[in-house]
Structure formats: structure tokens, C-alpha cells
Amino acid sequence: MSIETITFGCRLNAYESEVMKAEAQKSGLENAIIINTCAVTAEAVRQAKQTIRKARRENADARIIVTGCAAQTQARDFGDMAEVDLVIGNNDKLKSESYRPIAFGVPLNDKVQVNDIMSVTETAGHLIDGLDGRARAFVQVQNGCDHRCTFCIIPFGRGPSRSVPMGVVVDQIKRLVDNGYAEVVLTGVDITSYGGDLPGSPTLGKLTQSILRHVPSLPRLRISSIDSIEADPALYDAVTDPRLMPHLHLSLQSGDDMILKRMKRRHSRSDALGIVEKLRGLRPDMVFGADIIVGFPTETEAMFENTLRFVTEAGLTYLHVFPFSPREGTPAARMPQISRRVGKERAARLRALGETQFATLCKSRIGHSENVLVEREGMGRTEQFVPVKLSAGKPGEIVSTLINGADAAGLIGEPERQAA
């Protein structure tokens, strides 16, 4: 085998895995498995460890390298696993020199090679040609986070917020479009904080406008998860451009003001509702997803019901629901906990509501023509990110599709013609 990457967690990790693979190959590394971990929940860490053990059982001679947010925050835990040959930090995983010692058999005094992520001040703009097996390309524009939400360990896995210069981002997207990608997703840890560390302090909105202006051949631009309270005026202006996809994912976390305060979030319930209303006023076809934590310490049934009501009031469609998972070292882990059973029950109720909301969106699209980006044979996604079953088109193509039905998984359509 050459180099295999196994990725957990966010879209940024998916992008970084492509960079890691290229940098590891550049170092001369062969016969290796690199596991890019996630630290958002204890379950994500457990799954990573399970995968490491399985990888060793099935690949006795391969070198196993562990990196990512969980490796950054729990380095010694992974280093103590007999199956692991090397643990490297979140910043060093993107540098070819990090892989050279193991590539050439140079002995290390410690297989845990994790530096202080809080000392990192720049994010390099790595140019990649694309992502293996993906119809859309992800472009990192930012990394790290300067906020301290009480439940979150990620700032200690990713370090301070730092941005990729606008020109580098634009050049990366031009390169991807030249290689045939029809959709690009801007990704990062806290992308609405983009630009604060760059000369002139450009914003995410300014970056978005620059991409749309300087890459006119890009058919579809998509923005990943945003912290809506940080949305800038230029981003609201950019929303009206039809090449910016009408789908935004909100880092909401709760629909109750007291829980938001205890989470140390910077928006209120009314702030979030107002932002959704404003964006829909500018772009009536805009749909929204959200990250929501249920079972947060001290959450009562009434507080949870405020979140349920928020989902319907805001018309949220795509819900990423997480039962609260205490992360050691965070303030929320020291707060009075509610039972895991209650958290799981609330998560099930919220997911059921999300399924109802999604079904309503799908029903509303029947009879409409949609431009569908084909992801794999027989499956694609609309501009609103709804999955579509269709019978034509190659991965990466945009196909004009008449929607004639829906099921629990999404829409069903028949191609009309290949869109320009």
C-alpha cells in the first residue's frame, strides 16, 4: 500500500487530509495510514481509537500516524496506544518535514510530536488540485478560534484564529475550476471571523465578493457553517448573487436564551431569528441548517421546548443534533449535568422534528426544475443542498433536473438537459 488517510469530523478535516496525503508523499513516506481525528465529542475520540486498532489488525506492517484535533488535545492518550507509530499535531500535520523521520526510519525520542498549537500565528494556503472522490472541492480560508464557548475543546485543538490571504484563496479556486470543479465550499473553524488578522482586516463578505468577481467561471460557491452574529454587511450583499448557493448552516447550538448564555454564545434567540429573517428577505429561496446541542447542563424541559419552537419559527431544515458530551477541561464539564438518557431522548425528538422539516422542504420542490450537481452515479444535490436521485450525469456535472417525487432520503428527478 502507499498512503491511506482516514478522516473523522468536519469539512476542514476532509480538506486537510488531502494536504496531509500530498505532504506525506512529498516526504517519501510509503506504506502508511494517517488517521485525522476529531475532538468534538467523546464518541468521536472513541471511534478514532477503535479505527486505529482495526487498522493495525488489518495492516500489521503499515506505519500508523495519528493527528487532528483529538491528537492535539489528547496526545499522550494516543501515544500510549501500542498500535500507533507517531502522533503529530494539527499544525505540523500539514508539513512534509513532519513525516520525514518516520519515512526514513530515523529514531524519535518520543513518538508524540505535538507542539503548542496556541503559538501558531499563520495558516498556510496549500494549493491542491482537488479532493479524491468528491464532486465539490473544499477550500480552507481560516483556521482556529478565538472564542471560548463553555462546551468546546476545539480552540485547544486548532489554536487561535488565523486567515488565508484573499489572493491565495482566489488562486486556489481558479486552479480548482480549471481542473473541472463546478462547486467550491469555503471552510474553516470559525470562518465568519475571517480576515481580522490580515492587513486591512478584510471580512468573509469581502472575500466572497472577491471570489465571485475574480472567478467568473465558477458556477457554484457555497459557504460552510457560519456564526451568524459575525455576518458582515458585505456578506449580506453577496447573498443576492445567484452563484452563491442558497444554503447556510448556522452555529446555533440552542434556541433558549439562558442556555445560550451558559454556553457563552454571543447571540440571543432573537438575534438568530432576526438574522434568518433578514437573509430570507434578501434571498427568498435560502434554506438553513444548524448545529444544536441538547441535554446541555441545567437544560430544563421548558428550555428544550424553546429550541424545538425555534426550529419551526426559523424554518430550519438540516439539523445536526448532538447530545451534550462533556469534554474534560471545559467549563461546561464542571456544571451540573443532566442524565445521558434525557439528552438522548431530547436528541431523538429534535431529530424527528428535523426530519419533518426536511420532508416539508422536499415536498415544496416537487414540480420544480433544479440544477443538480452530480456527486456519484445516480445521486446529486440541488443548490439548496437537497439530495436528488437521478438517472443521468457524471460526477461533477451540473444537470438540469425536473423533480417529480420525494422520499425520506430526498428528491427524485429526471434530467431535462445538461446545464451550461
Query: What stretches of 266-339 show up as alpha helix (H) in DSSP?
Result: 269-282, 301-314
Rounded to whole angstroms, the Cα distance separating 110 from 85 reads: 10
Which one is predicted more confidently, 417 or 292? 292
Q: So what's the pLDDT on residue 118?
A: 57
Tens digits of residue pLDDT in 9-49: 877 788 788 888 888 888 888 888 999 999 888 888 999 99
What is the CATH superfamily name and number for domain 369-418? Nucleic acid-binding proteins (2.40.50.140)
Class of domain 137-362: alpha beta
Q: So what's the pLDDT on residue 71?
A: 87
Backbone dihedral region for residue 93 (phi beyond 0: left; psi -120 to 50: alpha; all else: beta)? alpha
Q: What SS3 state is found at 37?
A: strand
- Is the pLDDT assigned to residue 381 strictly greater than 90? yes
What percent of the chain clears pLDDT 70, i.e. is strictly above it?
94
Q: Residue 377 to residues 219, 223, 388, 390: CA-CA distances in angstroms?
A: 21, 25, 11, 8
Cβ-count burial of 208 within 10 angstroms (0-12 exposed, 13-18 middle, 19+ buried)? buried
Closest by CA position to 182, among listed 151, 215, 230, 153: 215
Q: So what's the pLDDT on residue 122?
A: 58
CATH number belonging to the domain at 3-115, selected among 3.30.450.20, 3.40.50.1220, 3.40.50.920, 3.40.50.12160: 3.40.50.12160
DSSP structure class, residue 244 = B
Rounded to whole angstroms, the Cα distance separating 240 from 208 reads: 12
Tens digits of residue pLDDT in 228-269: 888 899 999 999 999 999 999 999 999 999 999 999 999 999
Rounded to whole angstroms, the Cα distance separating 136 from 182 reads: 7
Q: What SS3 state is found at 295?
A: coil
Q: Where are the domains of the chain?
A: 3-115, 137-362, 369-418
Q: What SS3 state is found at 66?
A: strand
Q: So what's the pLDDT on residue 116?
A: 62
Strand partners, 37: 68
Sheet holding 247-253, edge to edge: 247-253, 287-294, 318-323
Tens digits of residue pLDDT in 277-313: 999 999 999 999 999 999 999 999 999 999 999 999 9
Grid cell, residue 331, equals 467549563
Q: So what's the pLDDT on residue 312?
A: 97
- Is the pLDDT assigned to residue 213 strictly greater than 80? yes
Ranked by mean pLDDT, the top range of 96-105, 115-124, 139-148 is 139-148
Q: What is the mean pLDDT of residues 371-392?
A: 93
Rounded to whole angstroms, the Cα distance separating 184 from 170 reads: 11
HEC letters along 199-234:
CCCCCHHHHHHHHHHHCCCCCEEEECCECHHHCCHH
Q: What is the mean pLDDT of residues 167-194?
A: 91
Name the band, by pLDDT with cuts 50, 70 and 90, for residue 119. Answer: low
pTM, to two decimals? 0.82
Backbone dihedral region for residue 315 (phi beyond 0: left; psi -120 to 50: alpha; all else: beta)? left
Query: What stretches of 111-214 show up as alpha helix (H) in DSSP?
Result: 154-158, 166-178, 204-214
Sheet holding 63-68, edge to edge: 3-7, 32-37, 63-68, 86-88, 112-113
φ/ψ of residue 302, rounded to 5: -65, -40
Name the band, by pLDDT with cuts 50, 70 and 90, for residue 419. Answer: very low
Tens digits of residue pLDDT in 397-416: 999 999 999 999 999 999 98
Q: So what's the pLDDT on residue 153?
A: 85
Q: So what's the pLDDT on residue 149?
A: 94
Sequence-separated (6 or more) residues with CB below 8 Å from residue 204: 141, 186, 191, 192, 194, 195, 223, 226, 230, 231, 232, 234, 235
Rounded to whole angstroms, the Cα distance separating 206 from 376 reads: 33
Q: Which strand (E) or helix (H) includes residue 3? A: strand 3-7
Which one is predicted more confidently, 130 or 103? 103
Q: So what's the pLDDT on residue 117?
A: 65
User: For all residues of the chain together, what is the average pLDDT?
Assistant: 89
Name the band, by pLDDT with cuts 50, 70 and 90, for residue 121. Answer: low
Tens digits of residue pLDDT in 82-107: 999 989 888 788 888 888 878 777 67
